[in-house]
């Protein structure tokens, strides 16, 4: 099946485009994988960072609240220390008159001032009122400190007051109208007063609703002692929870997120006074326990909100921040959105780049293949037979080199064809002459095998080339004698054939004179030696048969031993004296050997081409295989013997080329 043709231009475009597409796909896949990997890892990292930030915020806020509440403690302790000094060393202080509240004073509203209240109406006749007023005058020395602390810009103190077991209270705030007009305010059973009597230490009260309706309040208290170090009263600072929220707790970390305080009982301390328990936030038991333990940490509740809590050492409370899951994961959503936008932009850029590169590749391939297409047309012109056409090399590159090579090829091909035509004519002439010479050579070999009734003879000669150096001959010398010869000239081709003609002619001429085969070979050898400028030689087996007696006299000049079979027997080699070939050494004396032949005897003559025939395994045909073949059908005719021998040799050789002339002669005697 013919393979589908794909032009080189198309193939180049497909290869380059394929490589680019694969490169872009691999790059895009790796980039996409990297972006998605960054998205996943980034999402985890962002959530972790947000959780850590939330934990840090709640911790920092709780720490700030502790600092603020510690400042309240220090302030109250400072007030208590001052009162202790006043009570222990009153002589070091001047009594300070406390102006009573005048509701008619137009400037009184919002003014910070000292106020006095009593748990009961004091008896002036007993001097009790005077004694208490004197103590009040000494306590009034704290007014300046109280005013500085409460009127500073960052102060969240609502009211500062001190109450004593003697039944009076001195307060400093900007709501003097809050006290009763008769200045009677029985605080003796108030929780903040009685608790200090029992504890006598600095502490914060639980959150309570301010009795003057100002909202949820927390009080920091410190004990006051007289000159005998006996407990005598308490100094207090009130702070509104709403102020605590606005200055410490409130935060702005995102929509839906807010902070809250949780007391040690699990109650939410709300800035608006609303009472709730932590269980109302939708937390499960384990989550409530995590909040109440006050341990720093962040967790995602089952309700889907993030909670962060931190313990406040100063009050025993917990600062709790609640943030919606959407707020914490908003950076993740933003990052994912940004990554998807980046992916789409990246893909769009890849597509645009791919289109641009495909256009560039197309133009490049056009510029690259245009010279090749022009070269193809020029080559077609040359291949059509116009060898005078020349390709115009435009570019000085490999294509230009190829064009020059085609031009050189066309020139060489033109010269070769002309030389070939001339040589072919010469070869045709030589071939014709060789054919004539071959015909002449074959015509010199006898083909009429009916030479005599006393012998049946058949012979073949198969040259390795057009002309061979082997020859055979049989001829009548006189009425009673027949000459039989087979020979093999050294070499092949025309020289061997010419030498064969000379040798055959000399032998045939010499037999016209009296002499035995040895005499004939002696004279022919001397003649050939004198005229052998080409240093060739020839092996010859020559015999003379006397028909009337059946006597066969033969002489061997370096030729293969013939095979003789007597009637009723088998073929055997005639191992006679074998002298050197003719044309090698002058004055050689050859030996005659005589045989008596009977009716039915057979003689097989051959050249070395039979024995030297080789197969593909380099094996020789050899004399044993030849004798076996001859003895396979001992009664066969001479023609059948030679045809069977040729078939056996061909079967043995197979596809191997014949490298030597093969000549055979078979004779059956009828004497």
Mean pLDDT of 314-336: 75
pLDDT at 162 over 60: yes
Bridge partners of 221, per DSSP, are 203, 236
CA distance 259 to 445: 134
Tell me what pLDDT residue 90 has.
87
Handedness of CA 337, 341, 346, 348 (dihedral sign): positive
Residue 253 has a pLDDT of: 65
Percent over 90 (pLDDT), the chain: 27
Q: Which of 464-473, 489-498, 528-537, 550-559 is modeled with the greatest confidence?
A: 550-559
Phi, psi of 318 (to 5 degrees): -125, 130
> Of 139-153, 284-298, 337-351, 539-553, which has the strongest mean pLDDT?
539-553
Range with lowest mean pLDDT among 351-365, 466-480, 497-511: 351-365
Per-residue pLDDT at 627: 93
Output 31 or 593, whichever has higher pLDDT: 593
Average pLDDT, the chain: 82
Give 232's pLDDT tier (boundaries 50, 70, 90): very high
For 523, residues 6+ apart whose C-beta sits below 8 A from its C-beta are 510, 515
In the sheet where 318-324 sits, what is the strand order? 276-277, 267-269, 258-262, 318-324, 305-311, 297-300
Reported residue count of the chain is 671
pLDDT at 486 over 90: yes
How wide is the angle at C-alpha 74 spanned by C-alphas 69 and 79, nearest 5°?
Answer: 125
Portion of the chain with pLDDT greater than 70, in percent: 83
C-alpha distances in Å from residue 238, one per residue of 64, 144, 263, 576 = 19, 18, 17, 157
* pLDDT above 60 for 296: no
* Alpha-helix residue ranges (DSSP H) falling in 311-329: 325-328
pLDDT of residue 314: 80
pLDDT at 325 over 90: no
pLDDT in the model for residue 99: 72
The DSSP line for 160-177 is EEEEETTSEEEEEES-GG
Partners of 557 in the β-ladder = 540, 579
- The pLDDT tens digits of the residues spanning 238-255 come to 988 888 777 766 666 667
Mean pLDDT computed over 343-371: 79
Residue 485 banded pLDDT, cuts 50, 70, 90: very high
Looking at the predicted structure, is the pLDDT value of residue 143 above 90? no
Query: What b/e readout covers 18-45, taking b as 16+ CB neighbours within 10 angstroms?
Result: eeeeeebeeebeebeeebeeebeebbee
Under 8 Å between Cβ of 160 and 145: no
Higher pLDDT, 278 or 230: 230
Q: Which two three-digit tokens encode residue 572?
A: 């055997």
CA dist., res. 154 & res. 149, Å (int): 9
- Residue 46 above 60 pLDDT? yes
Would the pLDDT of 3 be above 80? no
Residue 231 Rama label (left phi>0; alpha psi -120 to 50; beta): beta
Average pLDDT of the segment spanning 73-85: 92
pLDDT at 521: 94
Asked whether residue 256 carries a pLDDT value surpassing 90, the answer given is no
Give yes or no for residue 517 having a pLDDT over 90. yes
Calculate the CA dihedral of residues 326, 330, 335, 336 and round it to 10 degrees: 20
> Which tokens go with 112?
């910070």
pLDDT at 249: 65
Least confident of 92-101, 473-482, 645-654: 92-101
Domains of the chain: 89-245 (3.30.450.20), 385-444 (no CATH), 447-669 (3.60.40.10)
Structure tokens at 12: 């180049």
The residues facing 323 across adjacent strands are 306
pLDDT at residue 108, as a whole number:
60
pLDDT at residue 519, rounded to an integer: 95
Confidence of residue 652 (pLDDT cuts 50, 70, 90): very high
Give the strand order in the sheet containing 593-596.
470-476, 481-489, 538-546, 551-557, 593-596
- Pick from 442, 460, 452: which is nearest to 640 by CA? 460
Q: What is the pLDDT of residues 442-454, one digit of tens each?
A: 666 888 888 888 8
Cβ count within 10 A of residue 146: 24
Q: β-strands 297-300, 563-565: how paired?
A: unpaired
State the pLDDT confidence band at 201, using cuts at 50, 70 and 90.
Answer: very high
The 3-state DSSP class for residue 379 equals helix
- Amino acid 423: pLDDT: 79
Q: Shortest CA distance to 374 belongs to which of 357, 358, 350, 390?
A: 390
Residue 500's pLDDT band (boundaries 50, 70, 90)?
A: confident
Residue 220 pLDDT > 90: yes
Q: Which residue has the higher pLDDT, 270 or 260?
A: 260
pLDDT at 637: 92
Nearest CA among 657, 328, 605 for reference residue 457: 605
Read off the pLDDT band of 483 (50, 70, 90). very high
HSE, side-chain direction, 13 A CA sphere, residue 193: 18
**The predicted structure's pLDDT at residue 294:** 56
Q: What is the pLDDT of residue 24?
A: 73
User: What pLDDT digit, counting tens, does each position of 363-409 carry?
Assistant: 777 777 777 777 777 778 777 777 777 777 666 776 677 777 777 77
Q: Mean pLDDT over residues 50-65, rounded?
A: 79
Average pLDDT over residues 78-85: 92
> What's the Cα-to-Cα distance from 36 to each of 48, 50, 331, 341, rounded to whole Å?
18, 20, 16, 12
Report, as an integer, the average pLDDT of 617-631.
91
Q: How confident is the model at residue 8 (pLDDT cuts 50, 70, 90)?
A: low
Residue 220, SS3? strand
- Residue 437 is predicted with a pLDDT of 54
């Amino acid at each position: 099946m013919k393979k589908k043709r794909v032009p080189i231009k198309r193939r180049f475009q497909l290869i380059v485009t394929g490589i680019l597409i694969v490169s872009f796909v691999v790059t895009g896949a790796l980039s996409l994988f990297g972006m998605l990997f960054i998205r996943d890892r980034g999402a985890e990292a962002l959530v972790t960072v947000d959780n850590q930030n939330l934990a840090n915020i709640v911790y920092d806020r709780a720490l700030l609240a502790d600092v603020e509440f510690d400042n309240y403690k220090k302030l109250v302790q400072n007030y208590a220390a001052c009162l202790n000094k006043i009570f222990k060393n009153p002589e070091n202080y001047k009594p300070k008159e406390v102006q009573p509240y005048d509701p008619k004073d137009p400037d009184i509203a919002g003014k910070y001032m000292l106020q006095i209240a009593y748990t009961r109406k004091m008896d002036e006749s007993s001097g009790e009122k005077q004694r208490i007023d004197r103590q009040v005058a000494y306590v009034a020395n704290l007014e300046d400190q109280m005013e500085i602390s409460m009127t500073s810009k960052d102060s969240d103190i609502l009211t500062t007051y001190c109450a004593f077991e003697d039944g009076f209270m001195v307060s400093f705030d900007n709501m003097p109208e809050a006290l009763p007009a008769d200045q009677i305010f029985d605080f003796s059973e108030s929780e903040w007063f009685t608790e200090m009597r029992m504890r006598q230490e600095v502490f914060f009260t639980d959150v309570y609703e301010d009795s003057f309706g100002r909202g949820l309040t927390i009080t920091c208290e410190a004990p006051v002692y007289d000159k005998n170090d006996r407990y005598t009263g308490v100094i207090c600072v009130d702070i509104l929870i709403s102020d605590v929220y606005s200055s410490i707790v409130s935060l702005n970390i995102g929509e839906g997120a807010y902070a809250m305080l949780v007391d040690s009982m699990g109650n939410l301390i709300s800035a608006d006074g609303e009472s709730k328990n932590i269980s109302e936030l939708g937390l499960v038991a384990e989550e409530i326990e995590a909040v109440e333990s006050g341990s720093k940490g962040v967790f995602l509740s089952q309700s889907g909100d993030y909670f962060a809590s931190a313990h406040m050492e100063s009050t025993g409370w917990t600062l709790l921040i609640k943030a919606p899951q959407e707020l914490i994961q908003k950076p993740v959503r933003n990052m994912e959105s940004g990554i998807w936008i980046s992916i789409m932009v990246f893909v769009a850029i890849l597509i645009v780049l791919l289109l641009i590169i495909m256009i560039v590749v197309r133009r490049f391939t056009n510029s690259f293949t245009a010279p090749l297409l022009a070269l193809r047309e020029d080559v077609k012109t040359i291949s059509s037979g116009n060898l005078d056409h020349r390709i115009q090399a435009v570019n000085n590159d490999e294509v230009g080199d190829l064009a020059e090579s085609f031009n050189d090829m066309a020139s060489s091909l033109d010269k070769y064809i002309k030389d070939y035509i001339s040589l072919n004519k010469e070869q045709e002439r030589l071939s014709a002459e060789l054919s004539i010479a071959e015909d002449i050579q074959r015509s010199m070999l006898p083909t009429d095998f009916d030479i005599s009734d006393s012998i049946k003879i058949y012979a073949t000669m198969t040259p390795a080339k057009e002309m061979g150096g082997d020859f055979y001959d049989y001829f009548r010398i006189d009425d009673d004698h027949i000459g039989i010869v087979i020979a093999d000239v050294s070499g092949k081709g025309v020289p061997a054939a010419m030498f064969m003609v000379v040798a055959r002619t000399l032998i045939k001429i010499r037999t016209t004179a009296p002499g035995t085969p040895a005499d004939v070979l002696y004279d022919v050898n001397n003649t050939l030696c004198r005229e052998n400028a080409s240093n060739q030689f020839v092996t010859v087996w020559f015999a003379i048969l006397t028909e009337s007696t059946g006597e066969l006299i033969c002489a061997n000049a370096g030729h293969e031993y013939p095979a003789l079979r007597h009637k009723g027997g088998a073929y055997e080699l005639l191992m006679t004296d074998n002298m050197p070939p003719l044309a090698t050494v002058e004055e050689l004396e050859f030996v005659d050997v005589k045989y008596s032949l009977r009716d039915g005897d057979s003689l097989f003559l051959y050249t070395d081409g039979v024995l030297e025939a080789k197969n593909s395994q380099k094996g020789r045909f050899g004399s044993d295989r030849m004798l076996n073949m001859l003895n396979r059908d001992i009664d066969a005719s001479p023609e059948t013997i030679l045809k069977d021998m040729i078939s056996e040799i061909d079967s043995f050789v197979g596809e191997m080329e014949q490298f030597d002339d093969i000549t055979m002669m078979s004779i059956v005697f009828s004497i």
